[in-house]
Amino acid sequence: MSILDIVKVGKEVLRERTKEVTDFKDPSLQRIIDDMIPAMYEHDGIGLAANQVDISLRIAVLVPDPHKVEEYKKTATLYYQGQPSFDEILGRILK
């Protein structure tokens, strides 16, 4: 398994409507998800959409951490954070 590349802004797959997943038993779907997770971690992400790795399907992987929600509320700090598909573009977020 290799780490999927993140596509950059300007790539058509980021602008087009993704295809709906209808066959959840398709083995290729699980392979895509299994490949997306290491790509997400490689870029220090907590979520990744399939179109960000050049796959035009309506899939996203997320790593929620419910144990941190209450702690975030107590210690939220304003950070600047980017998104892998948009080099050098940062947004303000509370963490």
User: Do 89 and 83 form a contact (C-beta atoms < 8 A)?
Assistant: yes
Q: pLDDT of 55-77, one tens digit each?
A: 999 999 987 766 655 665 566 66
Q: pLDDT of 21-32, one tens digit each?
A: 999 899 999 999
**b/e per residue 2-41 (b: at least 16 CB within 10 A):** eebebbeeeeeebeeebeeeeeeeeeeeeebeebbeebbe
pLDDT of residue 79: 61
Q: Which of 6-15, 47-56, 57-66 has the lowest mean pLDDT?
A: 57-66
User: Do 50 and 89 form a contact (C-beta atoms < 8 A)?
Assistant: no
